[in-house]
Amino acid sequence: MTVWSIDARSGERRRGFPTTGAEEVELACRRADALLPRLEEAGPQGRAALLEAMADALDHRVDALVAAADAETALGVGRLTGEVARTSGQLRLFAEVLREGAFLDVRLDAADSVRPDLRRMNIPVGVVGVFSASNFPFAFSVGGGDTASALAAGCPVIVKAHSLHPETSELTLAALREGARTAGLPAEVVQLVHGREAGTALVTHPLVRAVGFTGSIPAGRLLYDLAKSRPEPIPFYGELGSLNPLIVTPGAAARRTEEIAAGLVASVTLGAGQFCVKPGLVLAPRGDALVEAMARHFAELGPQVLLGDGIRESFEAGAGEREALPGLRVAASGRTGGDREVTARLLTGHVSALAASELLLEECFGPMTVVLAYDDEEELLHALAATPGNLTATLHSEPEEEKLAARLMAVMRARAGRLVFDAYPTGVAVGWAQQHGGPYPATTEPSTTSVGTAAIFRFLRPVVYQNCPTHLLPEALRDDNPWRLPRRVNGELTLP
């Protein structure tokens, strides 16, 4: 069978890639498992050099990468050029994590009259499977955050390429492998498979010890269940779907109507609404001013191309279902276009519509949002509490509404992993303090993140060496601290 690279704008076939068979997945897993010692021997410094060499290789090939990705996704040269930079930046950030050393979480307790000598550190979990995302062909795909954090942890990676950008995936793999060779490590520290069956085989293979996934709820839940039903279940770090509610208080609606309307519409339609943190539900006080202001911006929007036929068909079906719900109306639409383009939609109604249909509590992937009006604080709080787990929750309020904001924030914190104030959730900064995860169905493991330096902990596990002879200890646990790591010794944090 063949996976075809499809031009997102024309629908024409560009190039075919053979799907990966079960025997090839088996070989890939065995090859990856055999490379675990090489990554461990490289140590933090060697793996940092690996990640930096991979970043350099991506940057050197940016033009070819962007050309392929733009053809396959229609996301635009400017957006994709920035995404390559974000991807190489993630790799370099994890190089910093490795050189800083705290990710190993080294703890030493000296033996005394009541306890043995205990030395604890994090080690790699093993081979990691990564599923590429449709909407980020670089930052959440072959060379993206899951791959960067897994390699940083010392885990070889096998990536399941997304069917919407197979050529981009192959070109990215070639860049990463060039980087690996430059760093003196085997190119196969990252491998690539194509096809749905290969993805299933990857999740169920006994040598795969953890999986990172970004995609839809149905696909993610299917793979999650496979990962957990294995004879030896493994962690499945899935980012599935998020509504990302945005709340506008009466004070904010009165004072910043135009500002909020413009910012909100830009956030909803960024990347044709194909961001996992797009605000898909807006809770605003009763009154037409905000909706009318948003409607003016929506009416100016041109038609947009989505990532692929399946995504476009799902968006049209989902938008149509919501438009048909009792109590909802289309407040505005963007300009119409060709058969392969979609029209942005703004729907509005009253928060009572949430009780009438659970559909409004589900993500609709594409350029659409729903603004629901509330009459009082209790109605607002009740509506917000009804939302499922989210990646983000956003609040626009005024200083004199401190008590209301505090009540809302308590609910927001229970329902989301990142709380945004007087801004918009689209745009996930990559840094040391970022959290990109939330209660289910936003993610399957809400205590972890897929963006930021803490992502590395998904692919590590702690091990304690008790009364271990010095000559058998890993270098990170030796008394002379040859790697110059920050460590906690008898409860006291010591810096190199």
Return all residues near 433 (Cβ < 8 A) that are at least 6 apart. Answer: 452
C-alpha to C-alpha distances, 39 to 92, 145, 280, 331, nearest whole angstrom: 17, 18, 42, 56
Mean of all residue pLDDT scores within the chain: 97
Handedness of CA 160, 166, 167, 172 (dihedral sign): negative
At 177 the three-state DSSP class reads: helix
pLDDT of residue 458: 98
Residue range 244-258, pLDDT digits in tens: 999 999 999 999 999
C-alpha to C-alpha distances, 102 to 257, 275, 458, 473, nearest whole angstrom: 45, 32, 15, 18
29 catalytic residue (yes or no): no
276 catalytic residue (yes or no): yes
Choose the catalytic residue: 72, 276, 341, 363.
276
Residue range 211-261, pLDDT digits in tens: 999 999 999 999 999 999 999 999 999 999 999 999 999 999 999 999 999
Residue 263 confidence class, pLDDT cut points 50, 70, 90: very high
Q: For residue 395, which phi and psi values (nearest 5 degrees)?
A: -125, 125
pLDDT of residue 189: 98
| Tokens coding 454 | 């803490």
Q: What does pTM read for this prediction?
A: 0.96
State the Rg of the chain over Cα: 24
HSE-CB of 369 using CA atoms within 13 angstroms: 33
* Cβ neighbourhood burial of 406 (10 Å; 0-12, 13-18, 19+): exposed
C-alpha to C-alpha distances, 229 to 56, 222, 234, 474, 489, nearest whole angstrom: 40, 11, 9, 34, 40
Residue range 9-58, pLDDT digits in tens: 999 999 999 999 999 999 999 999 999 999 999 999 999 999 999 999 99
Residue 341: CB atoms within 10 Å: 18
Report the C-alpha gap between 30 and 174 in whole angstroms: 20
pLDDT, average across residues 4-9: 97
The answer to whether the beta carbons of residues 194 and 211 sit under 8 Å apart is no
Sequence letter at residue 15: R
Q: What percent of the chain has pLDDT over 70?
A: 100
pLDDT of residue 321: 97
Q: Is 246-421 the same fold as 2-240+444-460?
A: no
Residue range 434-448, pLDDT digits in tens: 999 999 999 999 999
HSE-CB of 406 using CA atoms within 13 angstroms: 5
Residue 320 confidence class, pLDDT cut points 50, 70, 90: very high
Q: For residue 2, which phi and psi values (nearest 5 degrees)?
A: -130, 140
pLDDT of residue 184: 98
- CATH entry 3.40.605.10 includes domain 2-240+444-460: yes
pLDDT of residue 181: 98
State in Å, rounded, how far the first CA of the chain is from the last one: 55
pLDDT of residue 429: 96
Ramachandran area for residue 127 (φ above 0: left; ψ -120 to 50: alpha; else beta): beta
pLDDT, average across residues 107-113: 96
Buried (b) or exposed (e) across 170-207, using 16+ Cβ within 10 A? bbbbbbbbbbbeebebbebbbbbbbbeebbbbbbbbeb
pLDDT of residue 95: 98
Report the C-alpha gap between 42 and 19 in whole angstroms: 32
Residue range 360-418, pLDDT digits in tens: 999 999 999 999 999 999 999 999 999 999 999 999 999 999 999 999 999 999 999 99
Question: Which of 236, 224, 80 shows the shortest CA–CA distance to 165?
Answer: 80
Listed by start position, the domains of the chain span 2-240+444-460, 246-421
Residue 179 confidence class, pLDDT cut points 50, 70, 90: very high
According to DSSP, residue 206 is labeled T
Residue 288 confidence class, pLDDT cut points 50, 70, 90: confident
CATH superfamily label, 246-421 = Aldehyde Dehydrogenase; Chain A, domain 2 (3.40.309.10)
Report the C-alpha gap between 118 and 326 in whole angstroms: 64
Choose the catalytic residue: 72, 178, 239, 341.
239
